[in-house]
Chain A
Amino acid sequence: MPRSLVPPEFLVHRDEGRCTKCKACIRQCGFGVHAEGPDDRISANDQRCVNCQRCVVMCPTGALKITANKEIGRENAYWSAERLREIWRQAESGGAILTSMGCDRNYPVYFDHLLLNASQVTNPSIDPLREPMEIRTFLGRKPEKLSIAGPPGEERLAGPLPPEVRLEMPVMFAAMSFGSISKNTVLALAKAAKRMGIMFNTGEGGMNPALGPFRDHMIVQVASGRFGVDSAYLEAGRIIEIKIGQGAKPGIGGHLPGEKVNAEIARTRGIPTGADAISPAPHHDIYSIEDLRQLIYTLKEATDYQKPVAVKIAAVHNVAAIASGIVRAGADIVVLDGLRGGTGAAPKMIRDHIGLPVELAIAVVDRRLREEGLREQVSLVAGGGIRSSADLLKVICLGADAAYLGTAALLALGCHLCQRCYTGKCSWGIATQDPSLTKRVDPEAGADRLVNLLTAWQHELKEFMGAMGINALESMRGNRLQLRGVGLPQNELDQLGVKQAGEAM
């Protein structure tokens, strides 16, 4: 085999003075970087290292350090090291470059150009430790007008309301299928969702029987592959989500390679063991909006109109008109997945060059739905790159009812963002089916970490709201006046519907 021109991305440094040759690193690395040499020294194959930091964290003597291999030639501001590597790799492989997680390129991050408000003098701030601070929210279709029956003083609801789902805080775990992530990881998400009173999402992998106890907190996804979709599956969830697209790979289908399809995944998905699980780019029964309408109503019929139906799309340039069409087609919840949304596997060029930041997507969709008088009828969920309670609150101010967390949830479970989920070798036991790796995520301990993260965000959310003198989340949604832009040109401010910092209320 000719010599590869692609230099290693990372360099493994071992402090020989500290290394006790315990071989922990050999066992820990999912990518087979460390090996014992004939002279019983432990050596590293830099070429394989993805900088997942597992060995560094686990080495009992702290002997390891990984650095980026920067000196690879005369890269410059235009021809960066990454571009050079891509070309050398493709010149050797002839294939599209695969990657994982979300777009990591240096596009503007609107979250980082938005500042929140606080009250002073004319409007007292509220201490969340002393006063109730309500962050509960609901998803589902709302009638424009409530029908009330009965004489004054004895009023009651005139009829049932459309189905709704209650969230104790405005977040949910985004769709991540069993197959793309391990069963233990799915279980950790499910347990945490139940404990926090929020929802998790099966992704398109079908429903594993182990999720039975968590049905009340489960969103079942119907994607183009229709894996594991039958009436029992639809009945099992509280919300049914039709996945049209995903922010990490708009317009692109999914592919779980056969080697990852073990017996359990095969059972859950309803396909033969070892067969490739292919989700086509489009749904083969949806070629326009009226087809989507049919699918929405098929799912509603199948579940007796007892479950809200969500439609998830990747945020693309025409997102406002598309979202308005989706609402008119009968969806109860519209999910917008932004440019930064993660994935188990995506072609790198697609991931990095298609889509719209979720901040803009939510802002323009919220505005369009308002202009058309539709906004109050449906729920809007933001996904794709929510990193903190501040991002969460900002996207709610821009018009979202709630947000999906994907990457942030995996990070809480130990993910180090190495972007190699597609290899199935995740050293952290998350994006893998290898039993020696998956056992690294303990569902109970993982749930604890997720609960901690969300509890911390709850505290921060309440502090933010208290500072603004607002004690109910309802009063944050679409409250753009609590936001100001810094360092954004006027047309971007206009798209976001936000005033320049310094402008008054």
Chain B
Amino acid sequence: MSETTMNLTLRVWRQKNAQSAGTFVEYEAKNISVDMSFLEMLDVVNEELTARGEDPIAFDHDCREGICGMCSLTINGKAHGPLEATTTCQLHMRSFKNGDAITVEPWRAKPFPVIKDLVTDRSAFDRIIQVGGFVSVSTGGAPDGNALPIPKTDADAAMDAAQCIGCGACVAACKNASAMLFVAAKVGHLGLLPQGQTERDRRVLHMVAQMDEEGFGNCTNIGSCSAVCPKEIGQDFISRLNRDFLKASLRAK
């Protein structure tokens, strides 16, 4: 054992499929380099499991750059683990130390049922976007990109919200499994731009209705969602969503 490697004990949630009950299983992870990402550490464990003839641990991942939003682990009780503004795939083992015990679980939220081990079904997010998270312009016929100047501050604020990677950490971190931060990010992104104005009321009403239908809980303003958000999307967008929703509801009456 050198300073650059460590041995760890993992408690990993194993669940054969959506129907079966899951349980924690303990694994040893040996000679883990500090330069590995958390997922590369799991790769090592999986290689060993395979060599022993045991089913490797299933987890979601793709880009491993913190942008696709596919990776999704609750590590020691925290969505995406201990480091702020960091997805699981960008969390490196230098954040841990030799001898640590690490608990690894899937997102825990009713609207995100477990498919297998650490893999969950997050299609509810797609359905929320499908009812209104867009600007209804078909291809062709768009005016020149510079026809409509947009103040830099608005464009920047819209970008702050638009950065959402749809990972679902906000839901996993919320004791009510609320999807308010996710919805607020899209409503905020489009609502801050002139292009998003014509459908502003409709968008917020439809998205919130779908969010409720999917079984996401209410927001009680605790802020756990922003605290785990890898893109640091702020609570102010939730306040904005509430204002937009209220105004749209009044106007709809």
Do A and B pair up? The answer is no
Q: Report which B residues bind A (CB closer than 8 A).
A: none
